[in-house]
C-alpha cells in the first residue's frame, strides 16, 4: 500500500465530493436533527448509485474488492458534508467481521446485499464508555442472544447487527437479525446517526467467531472502523477550517477583514496544523492495513482526527461569532457530528490507553 494516492484513488476523492455536493441540502440535514429514525435518503441513494456500498466487498460477493484507502476517501467526503446517514462505516465493519468469520453461509447471505445497498448493518460493540469491554454483558447461548446494547449507531435502520457478547465464558461475535430485537430510539443531539438501544431477548443469532479470535477480530474491525471514522473527522474538520477561513476573509470589523487580526488568523492556522497532522496519520494508517503496526497507526489517526474535529468545531464557531450559534447557520451540524463521531468507535481515553499499550506493552 502506498502512502501516495494513485490516480484512481484521487478520482474517488474528487468524484465523491462532487456527487455529495450535487445533492447536499443543509435544510434537509437540519430537519433530521429534530426527529429520530429519519436519515437523508438522497445521500444514501447517491452512495448506492456511486458504488460506495460495494467498495470493500470482495468481487466474488458482488463488490469492488477495494481497501481501507478508498473507504477512507469516501468517508472524508461524507465528513465534509455532515452526510445524513451512518451506514458506510458500520457496513464496512460488518463486512470485515463477516469475512474474518469465514462463515460462507453468512457471507453469501449478507455480503451481496450490503454491496448493493439493499441491506445495512450495525456494529454493536460498546457498552457505555468502553468500546470493547473485556467481558461484555450480552450473552449468547444455544443460538440465541440476550442483553442490551446501548446507543448503537444505525441501530434504528439496520437489518442486522454484529454483536460483541460472551459465550460460555469466552468473548464472541455473533450476527443477530434485528427483526428479532427491540429498538428504542435515542433522541440524541445528532439524530441522523440513528442511535438505538438494542435489546435482545433470546433473539435468534449466529455465532461468527469466538474466544481469542473473536477478541482479535473485534479489535481489528474496531481499528479499521476508527480509521474510516478518522477520515470522516478529517473531512469535517477541513470543511470547518475552510468555512472559518472564508468567513474571516469576508467579514469586516474595525475597518478590516477579521482574518487580519492575529487572534483570528492564528486560530485558523492552528486548525490547519491539526487537520494536516490528522490527515497524515489517516493516510499512513490506511496504508498499514493488515500490517503488524496497524493498531498503533489506527490509534494515532483516531486520536489526531478527534482532536482536529473537536477543536475545529469549537474554534470555527468562535470565529463566526453570532452567526456561528444560529440554528439556520448550520455550523452546529458539525459541532454535533464532531461529538457523535468522537464517541463512535471509542473515545479518546480508550485510544490513548490502547496506543500506549502498543508502545509499551503495559495495559492500563
Binding interface with other proteins (CB under 8 A): 2-4, 241, 245, 248-249, 256-257, 259-262, 265-266, 268-270, 272-273, 276-281, 283-284, 296-297, 299-300, 303-304, 307, 349, 351-353, 355-356, 359-360, 362, 364
How many CB atoms are closer than 10 A to CB 70?
A: 22
Q: How many residues does the chain have?
A: 364
Give how far Cα 75 sits from Cα of 12, 82, 238, Å: 11, 10, 13
In the complex, what is the shortest distance from the CB of residue 267 to other proteins, in angstroms, rounded to a whole number?
A: 9
Burial of 49 (0-12, 13-18, 19+ CB in 10 A): exposed
- Give the count of alpha carbons within 13 A of 214, CB side only: 24
Give the residue carrying C-alpha cell 475545529: 312
Who's near 195: CB < 8 A, 6+ residues apart?
A: 151, 152, 153, 155, 156, 185, 186, 188
How many CB atoms are closer than 10 A to CB 139?
A: 16
Nearer to other proteins, 170 or 353 (CB): 353
In the complex, what is the shortest distance from the CB of residue 312 to other proteins, in angstroms, rounded to a whole number?
A: 13
Nearer to other proteins, 103 or 232 (CB): 232
350, three cell numbers:
480508550
In the complex, what is the shortest distance from the CB of residue 258 to other proteins, in angstroms, rounded to a whole number?
A: 9
Alpha-carbon span 109 to 361, nearest angstrom: 40
Query: What phi, psi does 199 have (nearest 5°)?
Result: -115, 125
Give the residue carrying C-alpha cell 481497501: 67
In the complex, what is the shortest distance from the CB of residue 229 to other proteins, in angstroms, rounded to a whole number?
A: 15
In the complex, what is the shortest distance from the CB of residue 292 to other proteins, in angstroms, rounded to a whole number?
A: 15
How many CB atoms are closer than 10 A to CB 86?
A: 28
Nearer to other proteins, 159 or 357 (CB): 357
322, three cell numbers:
453570532
In the complex, what is the shortest distance from the CB of residue 105 to other proteins, in angstroms, rounded to a whole number?
A: 41
Nearer to other proteins, 150 or 257 (CB): 257
Please spell the DSSP secondary structure of 39-55, one letter per residue. --HHHHHHHHHTTGGGT
Nearer to other proteins, 3 or 201 (CB): 3
Nearer to other proteins, 41 or 266 (CB): 266
Nearer to other proteins, 170 or 270 (CB): 270
In the complex, what is the shortest distance from the CB of residue 282 to other proteins, in angstroms, rounded to a whole number?
A: 9
Nearer to other proteins, 35 or 252 (CB): 252
In the complex, what is the shortest distance from the CB of residue 242 to other proteins, in angstroms, rounded to a whole number?
A: 9
Amino acid at each position: 500500500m502506498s502512502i501516495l494516492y494513485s490516480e484512481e484513488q484521487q478520482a474517488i476523492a474528487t468524484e465523491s465530493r462532487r456527487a455529495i455536493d450535487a445533492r447536499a441540502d443543509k435544510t434537509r440535514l437540519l430537519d433530521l436533527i429534530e426527529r429520530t429514525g429519519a436519515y437523508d435518503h438522497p445521500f444514501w441513494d447517491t452512495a448506492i448509485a456511486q458504488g460506495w456500498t460495494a467498495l470493500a466487498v470482495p468481487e466474488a460477493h458482488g463488490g469492488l474488492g477495494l481497501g481501507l484507502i478508498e473507504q477512507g476517501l469516501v468517508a472524508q467526503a461524507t465528513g465534509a458534508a455532515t452526510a445524513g446517514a451512518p451506514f458506510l462505516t458500520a457496513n464496512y465493519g460488518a463486512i470485515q467481521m463477516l469475512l474474518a468469520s469465514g462463515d460462507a453461509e453468512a457471507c453469501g447471505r449478507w455480503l451481496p446485499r450490503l454491496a448493493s445497498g439493499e441491506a445495512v448493518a450495525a456494529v454493536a460493540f460498546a457498552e457505555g464508555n468502553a468500546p470493547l469491554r473485556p467481558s461484555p454483558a450480552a450473552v449468547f447461548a444455544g443460538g440465541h442472544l440476550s442483553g442490551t446494547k446501548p446507543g448503537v449507531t444505525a441501530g434504528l435502520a439496520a437489518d442486522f447487527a454484529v454483536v460483541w457478547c460472551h459465550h460460555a465464558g469466552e468473548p464472541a461475535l455473533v450476527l443477530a437479525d434485528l427483526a428479532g430485537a427491540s429498538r428504542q430510539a435515542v433522541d440524541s443531539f445528532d439524530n441522523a446517526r440513528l442511535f438505538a438501544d438494542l435489546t435482545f431477548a433470546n433473539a435468534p443469532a449466529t455465532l461468527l467467531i469466538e474466544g481469542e479470535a473473536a477478541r482479535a477480530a473485534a479489535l481489528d474491525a474496531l481499528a479499521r472502523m476508527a480509521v474510516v471514522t478518522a477520515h470522516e473527522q478529517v473531512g469535517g474538520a477541513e470543511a470547518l477550517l475552510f468555512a472559518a477561513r472564508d468567513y474571516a476573509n469576508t467579514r469586516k470589523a474595525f475597518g478590516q477583514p477579521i482574518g487580519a487580526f492575529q487572534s483570528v488568523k492564528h486560530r485558523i492556522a492552528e486548525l490547519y496544523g491539526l487537520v494536516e497532522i490528522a490527515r497524515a496519520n489517516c493516510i499512513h494508517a490506511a496504508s498499514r492495513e493488515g500490517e503488524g503496526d496497524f493498531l498503533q497507526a489506527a490509534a494515532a489517526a483516531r486520536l489526531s482526527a478527534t482532536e482536529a474535529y473537536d477543536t475545529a468545531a469549537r474554534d470555527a464557531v468562535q470565529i463566526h461569532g453570532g452567526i456561528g450559534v444560529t440554528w439556520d447557520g448550520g455550523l452546529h451540524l458539525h459541532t454535533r457530528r464532531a461529538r457523535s463521531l468522537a464517541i463512535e468507535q471509542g473515545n479518546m481515553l480508550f485510544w490513548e490507553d490502547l496506543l500506549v499499550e502498543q508502545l509499551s506493552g503495559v495495559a492500563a
